[in-house]
Amino acid sequence: MGRGRGHTPPALFPLPVDAMRLLFALALVAPLVAGCTPYIPEKLDFGTSAAATKGDIPPEYAGFNAYDPGVNPLLAQQICATSYQPGDVTTADASPGQLVTAHGTCAVHKPIVGP
């Protein structure tokens, strides 16, 4: 019996560099490239508003004017990827009730690698 060939067929175009070495090199260089990104302008402030009850409200508006003061910070925490910094809260008369508007900002993100 003749001697058989190996189990793995030879590559048609052999790679000069091992794929794992290439992947390792890319993993080392990627954070350096990400740290060199230019400044991206961003708008970090935003506002939330809600209708609050004041005085006699018709029943058709009562469900809409169910203002809970804890909802604005909750919405802000869901919007911000960083910590929320509350700003001013203003109340304006509306018909019927009041309009409560809160402004705040998200904290600026500071990358681990880069400027």
- Decide if 35 contacts 111 (C-beta within 8 A): yes
Say if 1 falls within a structural domain. Answer: no
Structural domain containing residue 78: 45-106
Task: Answer whether residue 10 is part of any domain.
Answer: no
Sheet holding 45-52, edge to edge: 45-52, 98-106, 84-93
pLDDT of residue 110: 74
pLDDT tens per residue, range 11-59? 666 666 678 888 898 888 887 776 666 666 667 788 877 777 777 777 7
Say if 6 falls within a structural domain. Answer: no
Residue 2 has pLDDT above 60, yes or no: no
Is residue 91 over pLDDT 80? yes
DSSP conformational letter for 81: S
Cα 67 from Cα 70, distance rounded (Å): 9
**Over 70: is that where the pLDDT of 80 sits?**
yes
pLDDT computed for residue 7 by the predictor? 66
**59 in any annotated domain:** yes
Residue 96 forms part of a structural domain: yes
In-domain check, residue 85: yes
Q: How many domains does the chain have?
A: 1
